[in-house]
Structure 1
Amino acid sequence: MTEMLGSILLPPGLVLIIGAFLLPLVEGKLRAALVLTLPLLTLALVWLIPDGNHVQIAFLDYSLQPVNSTAEGRLFATIFSIMAFAGGLYALKTATLTELSAAFAYAGSAIGVTFAGDLITLFIFWEMMALGSTMVLWANTAANPKAYKASIRYLLVHLLGGVVLMSGIVAYVFETGSTAFTAMQADSVATWLILAGFLVNAGAPPLSAWIADAYPEASPSGMVFLSAFTTKTAVFVLLVGFAGTEILIYIGLYMVFYGIIYALLENDMRRILAYSIVNQVGFMVTAIGIGSEMALNGAAAHAFAHIIYKALLLMSAGSVLLMTSKRKCTELGGLFQSMPVTAINGIVGALAISAFPFTSGFVTKSLETSAAAYEGLVFVWFMLLAASAGVFLHAGIKFPWFVFFQKDSGMRPPDPAANMRWAMWLFSFLCIAIGVYPQALYSILPYAVDYQPYTVDHLVTQFQLLLFAGFAFFVLLPMMKRTLTISLDFDWFYRRFSKVVGDEFSVKTGKVFDRLEMQVRGGVTGFIQRLHRHHGPQGILARTWPSGAMVLWVAVMLVASLVLYYV
């Protein structure tokens, strides 16, 4: 029966990809029905496919495995499907058709990666994901002209990552003769290139800035979609391919504190949350580097929960942007008075990302910090604990305080449309439900979980940490108030410095081509002058010759030919 089922199985992500092409063909309620039902159909397929590899496709001398169901892949595909549903619900009345289609192709490609059993299939869906996410950005160009330039920079970064990844895959297949996507060791040029390609999508240094550069320029719903798939797909492939790779611990810690520092400096509410994505993915990358079963469970659970509460925060911020057309913290404040639903849901998301007890963040992040402690990594444990306080500062307090409270901006916009409110309530419910009953999530993690998050020691430690961070925020509130500043990041090099270098190169190259053109022109002119000198009206070859002279020369030639013939 399983073989018969496997013979007709397709990657679940194809449902959303095909749906992306169907959406432009329908209108009205039928389009809305597709937007809401296709993710649910995909979710059902994710759970109907049994474990194992079910499809083999011959390609050249290799065998592709596009439907390889694993515990890790099913977990990530599940949350990607839920995200596609909630994102579609949130975007239903505001997103353009281009954005919806691109977002579904993007989500379907991400799910395709989670079911890829070989590196070739993985790469195909990986690149489709890059194109889909770029189109999500492009779709907002009419409303925000900055979106186009941001999308070009975004695409260039991901094309670079794709080239590096493809180079690694080719070298790996050449070395091993296998295309299987399994656990690897970063001990060769091929595997290092594959690791580097994965890390580009994770937002690892030195290219972390692409997230804060691109995501905030998308539409309110577009950024919700963008926050969910690219970085978390990178977490998935790192978890499967490079678990226990020690360098990931230090890369992850860099990302953790990089995100905190830049988020604290930032004035734009959506850039705050974009930098927070880097910070949160840093926790996951660190846990993957630790590599124990608890750490890997923590990375997977954290990714699951992060997609929900980060999307909730971005839905709240997107609703504010949609209703006020403002995104700077210095221009906002007091919005809780007229946007209570948006404020409440934003606060729930802020508590979840801060790992407040009885929220999803508390029961998932604690797996990662506890794993560091159990492995005897005292420095890593201490840094993750300190970073938790930083998360509460920039995302748990700063975002809701400056947007919904602080000074009264005088604006009284209403809450957004019903579909956007329903999407926020859904994710708020999931944030609390997972926090109250974590076993539902623990039961689908890659490894068996023997962990109790609600211990007296853990609760007391977390409450102390949060209270200290909250006290520090309000004591230092005058220093926390933002001004209209611009934070320089590594993207300055490829946005400014590289442009200067390119312009200088263009000038030098232009001068070389000018000299070359002058030399070519001089040579052609000289050749024409020589032709004119010989063939022109006064040239020797253009003169009139007497017929007698011609007869003489013909006679000479005949005599010469006769002599040669007889000789």
Structure 2
Amino acid sequence: MIGEFSPGLILILGALLVPLLRGRLRAIYMLALPVAAFAHLTTLPHGDLGIIELSGVSLTTLRVDKLSLLFSYVFLVAALICVIYSLHLRDTVQHVAALIYAGSAMGAIFAGDLVTLFIYWEAIAIASVFLIWASRTEDSYRSGMRYLIIQVGSGVLLLAGVLIHYRQTGSLAFGALGLDTPGGLLIFLAFGIKSAFPVLHAWLPDAYPRGTPTGTVFLSAFTTKVAIYALARSFAGTDILIPIGTVMAAFPIFYAVIENDLRRVLAYSLNNQLGFMVVGIGLGTDLALNGAVAHAFADILFKGLLFMSMGAVLFRVGTIKGSELGGLYKSMPWTTGFCIVGAASISAFPLFSGFVTKSMIMTAAMEEGYFWIWIVLLFASAGVFHHAGIKIPYFAFFAHDSGKRCQEAPLNMLVAMAVAAALCIGIGSFPDFFYTLLPFETGYRPYTLDHVVAQVQLLFLSALAFTLLMRTGIYPPELRSVNIDAEWFYRRAGRSLADGARMAAENGWKSVTHGIGRTISVVIAYVQRHHGPEGLLARPWPAGTMALWTTLMLGACLILFYL
């Protein structure tokens, strides 16, 4: 049917007309694209749609169910908020790249087969890198190149896994897979790179903080959440995800605490929150999967809100280093308030979104008997409050007065932050409607007395610990520094490999040119020996000798003719 196409195509194709528009007309048009995509979404029935027959292979370009719909709702809301946040820009490249990026993410979650997923998977990588390069600095260019190599590498692994899987099973369906085949293992690894698994995660804190103030907000919403969706769709209940997610939730805390770049702090915090989602997917129960996808939904909003507040600070002040900020609540009171809402949401304060989503994952872990996993997640929750709930607003807007005075964020930025803050509070305060959007019916109730009291106690003790560490001088101060992460190893190894390849190429070229030179010299000497002035063929031959050779050649011709 004509209407059976992905809502993401509205954003992708619509982005191509953006360069033709200017001023207010461009702003209205960009705002209309997510609205039009949502209107189209409401007309789609559940099921496999948009089926294309290609060379005997059936591709399902549009699969509509509760899981894909949940992510599509939040992706469209995020796209609308991000467009509002970026309306002050006059950078056509950023606008076009951002809309194609968001549309590709939408296309990926509606993909019903692995080939369609791969196409959008690569489109996400290519479109998103322009949001990093748009900073137009040497650091952003280099970081963008590293980001692109890793993201395209993920796509190569995905394609290899798809081909192997198809050869072994004859199926391209984007559904439940396993790790018992090489194809499934490669696909799992491809998803793991985009999900920022441990050791594979360093692209995230390397690239996201180098994006533009608006581009980083887009980046925080889509790439990793598409990967979480893919894991939930294909590897729910895979046990190895539980320890992987637990490590993801715990180790970024230590980096975030010592990091001076506040957007880099948020990048590590994003990695931390992804860990909770991966644990939920690994547990695989209805409650755990509900918690994983619900937390992905909430994280897009509150993490986007935090990135927006820091982007506004960077836009107005020109720096995002904690050591250079402080006292900005006097100049940017609205931004300060919105940042606090985001901090409360990610810290899982009651009445905020994180409280009603993260708790499902932790409850599922306890119900399944993973006590020590639950302990680590509890520690990670306290750490989140330290580095995102307290550190971000404290060092950006309070702490010591840096003496910097600036204007409040532009109106469009404030409106975008207000919408995200309202959704964070609305989901946390009235979760019942939100729960109806989740894939499974669980009857979970977050506002029980024991849960509220336990969470308030955890937050109070975490705040007390932060205060004591600050008062005693033990808490790491905000200093100019470079923190080494896992990327150092593969960047160092990559540089060594590149240097080795360059030297090998140079030596090989020298050997080739030397060999060619020697061959040419031998040929010249041979020709010189036979055809030179003193050569054998240059000497005058007697007439009798010439007659003899002529007779022999004629004789040979006659023999060949008769044969």
TM-score normalized by the length of structure 2: 0.96
1:38-85 CA-to-partner distances (Å, cap 9, x unmatched) read: 111112222321211122100122111111101000000110000110
Hey, what does 1:83 align to over in structure 2?
Answer: 78
The answer to whether structure 1 residue 331 and structure 2 residue 327 are counterparts is no
Give the counterpart of 2:115 among 114, 120, 125.
Answer: 120
CA distance in 2, matches of 1:561, 1:114: 79
The amino acid across from 2:141 in the alignment is Y
Q: Give the total of aligned pairs.
A: 560
Q: CA 1:460/1:519 → structure 2, altered by over 3 Å: closer, same or farther?
A: same
SS in 2 for 1:64: strand
The answer to whether structure 1 residue 495 and structure 2 residue 491 are counterparts is yes
CA distance in 2, matches of 1:456, 1:499: 56
Of 363-372 and 551-560, more deviation after overlay is shown by 551-560
The answer to whether structure 1 residue 314 and structure 2 residue 307 are counterparts is yes
Q: CA 1:535/1:316 → structure 2, altered by over 3 Å: closer, same or farther?
A: same
Hey, what does 2:509 align to over in structure 1?
Answer: 513
CA distance in 2, matches of 1:196, 1:80: 24
CA distance in 2, matches of 1:474, 1:230: 35
SS in 2 for 1:432: helix
SS in 2 for 1:67: strand
Give the counterpart of 1:533 among 526, 529, 533.
Answer: 529
Query: Which consecutive residues of structure 1, in runs of 5 or more, have no partner in the other structure?
Result: 1-5
The Cα shift of 1:163 comes to 1.0
Give the counterpart of 1:286 among 279, 282, 291.
Answer: 279
Contact 2:9 2:103 in 1 (8 A): yes
% identical equivalent positions? 44
Hey, what does 1:136 align to over in structure 2?
Answer: 131
SS in 2 for 1:460: helix
SS in 2 for 1:522: helix
Contact 1:43 1:82 in 2 (8 A): no
Question: How do 1:21-420 residues align onto structure 2 when only pairs under 5 Å count?
Answer: 21-94=16-89, 96-141=91-136, 144-420=137-413
SS in 2 for 1:54: strand
CA distance in 2, matches of 1:26, 1:340: 34
The amino acid across from 1:98 in the alignment is V
SS in 2 for 1:315: helix
Hey, what does 2:459 align to over in structure 1?
Answer: 466
Question: How do 1:443-454 residues align onto structure 2 when only pairs under 5 Å count?
Answer: 443-454=436-447
CA distance in 1, matches of 2:409, 2:125: 30
Q: CA 1:12/1:564 → structure 2, altered by over 3 Å: closer, same or farther?
A: closer
Contact 1:227 1:307 in 2 (8 A): yes
CA distance in 2, matches of 1:50, 1:566: 86
The Cα shift of 1:253 comes to 0.8
SS in 2 for 1:10: coil
SS in 2 for 1:56: strand
Q: CA 1:313/1:545 → structure 2, altered by over 3 Å: closer, same or farther?
A: same
SS in 2 for 1:111: helix
Give the counterpart of 1:522 among 512, 518, 521.
Answer: 518
CA distance in 2, matches of 1:41, 1:556: 92
The Cα shift of 1:545 comes to 3.6
Q: CA 1:93/1:539 → structure 2, altered by over 3 Å: closer, same or farther?
A: same
SS in 2 for 1:476: helix
CA distance in 1, matches of 2:355, 2:556: 109
Hey, what does 2:3 align to over in structure 1?
Answer: 8
SS in 2 for 1:65: strand
SS in 2 for 1:409: coil
Of 60-69 and 514-523, more deviation after overlay is shown by 514-523
Contact 2:258 2:477 in 1 (8 A): no
CA distance in 2, matches of 1:46, 1:308: 20
The Cα shift of 1:560 comes to 8.4
Hey, what does 2:478 align to over in structure 1?
Answer: 482
CA distance in 2, matches of 1:523, 1:391: 69
CA distance in 2, matches of 1:439, 1:162: 38
CA distance in 1, matches of 2:562, 2:174: 84
1:167-202 CA-to-partner distances (Å, cap 9, x unmatched) read: 111111111111111112222111111111111110
The Cα shift of 1:468 comes to 0.8
The Cα shift of 1:423 comes to 0.4
SS in 1 for 2:53: strand
The amino acid across from 2:186 in the alignment is L
1:406-425 CA-to-partner distances (Å, cap 9, x unmatched) read: 00100011111100110011
SS in 1 for 2:537: helix
Contact 1:40 1:82 in 2 (8 A): no
CA distance in 2, matches of 1:389, 1:275: 15
The Cα shift of 1:509 comes to 3.6
Question: How do 1:431-442 residues align onto structure 2 when only pairs under 5 Å count?
Answer: 431-442=424-435
1:264-301 CA-to-partner distances (Å, cap 9, x unmatched) read: 12110110001111100110000000000000000011
CA distance in 2, matches of 1:511, 1:175: 43
Write out the 4+ residue segments of structure 1 that deviate beyond 4 Å after TM superposition. 546-549, 555-567
Query: Which consecutive residues of structure 2, in runs of 5 or more, have no partner in the other structure?
Result: none
The amino acid across from 1:502 in the alignment is A
CA distance in 1, matches of 2:548, 2:72: 97
Contact 1:202 1:281 in 2 (8 A): yes
CA distance in 2, matches of 1:544, 1:525: 27
Q: CA 1:566/1:345 → structure 2, altered by over 3 Å: closer, same or farther?
A: closer
Contact 2:325 2:396 in 1 (8 A): yes
Q: CA 1:364/1:563 → structure 2, altered by over 3 Å: closer, same or farther?
A: closer
Contact 1:205 1:251 in 2 (8 A): yes
Q: CA 1:534/1:245 → structure 2, altered by over 3 Å: closer, same or farther?
A: same
The Cα shift of 1:563 comes to 10
Contact 1:46 1:78 in 2 (8 A): no
The amino acid across from 2:94 in the alignment is E
CA distance in 2, matches of 1:507, 1:19: 48
Hey, what does 1:3 align to over in structure 2?
Answer: none
The Cα shift of 1:537 comes to 1.7
The Cα shift of 1:116 comes to 0.9
CA distance in 2, matches of 1:63, 1:215: 37
CA distance in 1, matches of 2:318, 2:10: 35
Of 461-470 and 542-551, more deviation after overlay is shown by 542-551
Q: CA 1:15/1:540 → structure 2, altered by over 3 Å: closer, same or farther?
A: same
CA distance in 2, matches of 1:444, 1:175: 36
